[in-house]
Structure 1
């Protein structure tokens, strides 16, 4: 199974982020790059920050582009997204719990794909609150003995990028790691938010953070340094999963020429 992961497109219509990044044009280049892939993916996972201002117009633009690819899409929100307008625009790509969190669980052949909503409304940091932990516990329990792939916006690890780690998951991370370890068959945890490719582990499972489909943040491990933009290209991830052999991941630059 071939899975494309897109993250952090931050689509903004009519202007540029930081007067520099035309993220709407970057999203169109991403779509063209995906159309040019010689091997068509079976599934697209969008790990948050679809839009910059969380407007219905942004989500309509993103939704139209994704549907035009004619590939199944699952998505979770990022810290720049808002649940209600996202749900109204893209209900076919999302799930929703009884508590209103945009979590989703789908059987994709032999693989169970679980999307976890980690956002805190109007905040940059994330959390996995008791309600979301309970939902995840029951979801994993109901798929005991199955291979599971989790995707979410905020990474459940410290990346060493100080300012970004201060906007990471600030509560529920240890409990989350415990659930991953208890299940024992989580192939990987796919994340975004950091605008860089980062690898780690959580609960014994690989954590793979995909770079942004629009713009990247600079690599800087100095304490107290704020994040800053870099000139690295827009990128996305391709994950190849084989039953019994796990997940192999590639980071791919957006190329349209």
Structure 2
């Protein structure tokens, strides 16, 4: 199985520039072109949040239109810049809604089950897994007992040394999340965004893959007293290969600009 992971596009319409200098609209178009030109077509695209910058219907409608043209299934979860209601309106084929209104999903159409977790606290930069989301996950993992699964979410459950970003990471529900993963025993990987860098770690003995942004990155500054800084490092995404024998193998791929 081949999975393309895209994240943190922060798409803006009408040629607006993020922070006055990052053309996220053009970056998104280059991303779509790169995905369309892959020599091996992914079975699935996972979008790990911060699809749009302002969370408008217009942003999500454009994103949805471009992704549908690839003719590849897409599953998406929100990031801290996203809002649930317009995502539901414009991306109904890419998101699922729990009875409590969270955008969590489960896809069992592949040999590897795909679980999407909504970690956002709308209006706040940090993430959380509240009691309702944890209850949903517990039931989902119970239903998938003995089946290999992959989890994708926006906020990573690990600390990274990027102090300013760790301070707005997953701040609630981590201990319960860890216990559930350990109990299930067949989680193959956890895919995340939010950090705008390629970062690898482990959580509950499971590989964590943090994808860089498909637009712009955050500077790798490990000093404890520094705010995060957006930098114009190359746009990237990830390709993950999964098979039962070897688990998940991950590649970080640059977004190629047209010549």
TM-score, length basis structure 1 = 0.99
Q: Equivalent residue of 1:134, what SS?
A: helix
Distance 2:118 2:43 in 1: 22
Map 1:19-98 → 2, pairs under 5 A: 19-98=20-99
* Structure 2 residues not aligned, in runs of 5+: none
Deviation at 1:109, TM superposition (A): 2.0
Deviation at 1:19, TM superposition (A): 0.7
Q: Equivalent residue of 1:92, what SS?
A: coil
Deviation at 1:229, TM superposition (A): 1.6
Map 1:147-226 → 2, pairs under 5 A: 147-226=148-227
Are 1:120 and 2:121 matched, yes or no? yes
The answer (yes or no) to whether the contact 1:179–1:203 under 8 Å persists in 2 is no
Distance 1:159 1:134 in 2: 27
Kindly tell me the number of residue pairs found equivalent between the two proteins. Answer: 257
Counterpart in the other structure of 1:5: 5
Q: Equivalent residue of 1:157, what SS?
A: coil
Distance 2:237 2:110 in 1: 23
Deviations 1:196-243 (A, max 9, x none): 011111111111000000000000110120000223100000000012
Deviation at 1:40, TM superposition (A): 0.6
Distance 1:106 1:50 in 2: 20
The answer (yes or no) to whether the contact 1:126–1:167 under 8 Å persists in 2 is yes
Distance 2:159 2:20 in 1: 30
Deviation at 1:245, TM superposition (A): 1.9
Are 1:104 and 2:101 matched, yes or no? no
* Structure 1 residues not aligned, in runs of 5+: none
Query: Structure 1 segments of 4 or more deviating over 6 A?
Result: none
Deviations 1:134-178 (A, max 9, x none): 000000000000000000000000011000001001110111011
Q: Equivalent residue of 2:66, what SS?
A: helix
Deviations 1:29-54 (A, max 9, x none): 00001111111100000000000000
Deviation at 1:73, TM superposition (A): 0.3
Deviation at 1:129, TM superposition (A): 0.4
